[in-house]
Amino acid sequence: MEIRPYQAGDEKHILDLFKISFGKPISEQYWKWRFADHPENKMMIMLMWEGSILAGHYAVSPVRMIVDHTEALTALSMTTMTHPDYAGRGIFTELAETLYEDQKKTNDLVAVWGYPNNNSHYGFIKNVKWKNLEQIPTFTLDANLVEVKETDINCGSSFESKHIETHDSSSYRVRVKRSQAYLNWRYTQNPTNDYVLFDVDIEGETHYAVAKKFKSFQVPDKYEIDLLEWEVYRDAKLQQQFLSAIKTYFGSNDLLCFNMWIPLNDARHITLEKIGFRNTAPITYSGIRLLNSKFDMMQQSEHWHYNLGYSDIY
């Protein structure tokens, strides 16, 4: 069998393999947005072929990060797929090692990280030498605890430079570089999800949140709100105003809860607890494969900023 990087036109075979592997289709529009239209303009996909049959696929998505004030190119681990007829042959391990080595040489990739699910976690740790970072609980607030009232919070249509200049996650030693181009690509240009930007300017600082409403998997006929970005500073009153504005925008009658990820050592965590947020399921694995020893501190979870928006699932 032959291993080679993605070439133009391979996406047809990739989309076919996705349907075979997962029993459902992925749209060409979504694939194009995630890979071909990414602002980094780097394809990080490795494929294994047997003749004209695509036997295996592994893709990562470039993510520029700030690591101890140094800009570095990393990648978010994405889709792993093996054709059912080729299962049990170690294809994923071989593809991963080939992809990591290739991207380390060609793009100076320093790490691959992500959120393995329960089915893939064992393989990443055992076979691809990933290191666990932590288990991330879902931080959830009962929607009934949010009072609906008038606020000065605005709804924005796109990200501007002001959203980049001030944000609370800048205190973290390991964080995604959320440039204007990145944020607009991630949220306003996303072809499958409808995200809403909420913001307010206070004394020259911009506070913002990104929210998405979706049908609850827990309670029929109810909806939940994911808070993918939460750059709202450490003030319970302001946080409550944001929650009220979001609840008002999406409608309050059918809302079950608000969900977010936020590190336990984040100063905003304690004010959100005061409002009523609590740790709940699902709990998500986070892990990393380091490719450059100069960035060893990335393997220490206490340095990481994270939110739901860093994951490709939400």
Convert the pLDDT of each residue in 88-122 to its tens digit. Answer: 999 999 999 999 999 999 999 999 999 999 999 99
CATH, domain 2-109, list 3.20.20.120, 3.65.10.10, 3.40.630.30, 3.30.499.10: 3.40.630.30
Tell me how far the alpha carbon of residue 155 is from its chain's centroid.
Answer: 22
Percent of the chain scoring above 90 in pLDDT: 93
One fold for both 2-109 and 136-284? Answer: yes
| pLDDT at res. 122 | 95
Q: What is the pLDDT of residues 16-68, one digit of tens each?
A: 999 999 999 999 999 999 999 999 999 999 999 999 999 999 999 999 999 99
Task: Annotate 262-272 with b (16+ C-beta within 10 A) or e (fewer).
Answer: bbeebebbebb
Q: How confident is the model at residue 168 (pLDDT cuts 50, 70, 90)?
A: low
pLDDT surpassing 90 at residue 206: yes
The domains of the chain are located at: 2-109, 136-284
Q: Work out whether the CA dihedral 280, 111, 302, 40 comes out positive or negative.
A: negative
79's tokens: 């889709």
Residue 70, both tokens: 């140094």
Q: What is the gyration radius of the CA atoms in the chain, in angstroms?
A: 20
Quote the Cα angle for 150-156-158, to 5°: 170
Residue 314 DSSP symbol: -
Give the list of residues 6+ apart from residue 6 with CB closer than 8 angstroms, or none. 14, 43, 45, 46, 47, 59
Give residue 165's pLDDT band: very low, low, confident or very high (50, 70, 90). confident
Asked if the model's pLDDT at residue 267 lies above 80, the reply is: yes
* CA–CA dist 81, 215 (Å, integer): 27
Residue 253's pLDDT is what?
85
* pLDDT at 257 (0 to 100): 98
pLDDT at 234 over 90: no
Q: Is the pLDDT of residue 188 over 80?
A: yes
Instruction: Give the three-state DSSP class for 38.
Output: coil
Residue 170 confidence (pLDDT):
74
pLDDT at residue 166, rounded to an integer: 66
CA 48, 126, 73, 162 torsion: positive or negative? Answer: positive
* CA–CA gap between residue 19 and residue 232 (Å, rounded): 40
Topology (CATH) of 136-284: Aminopeptidase (3.40.630)
pLDDT of residue 231 exceeding 70, the answer is yes
Distance CA 28, CA 249 (A): 31
Which of 142-156, 167-181, 190-204 is the least confident region? 167-181
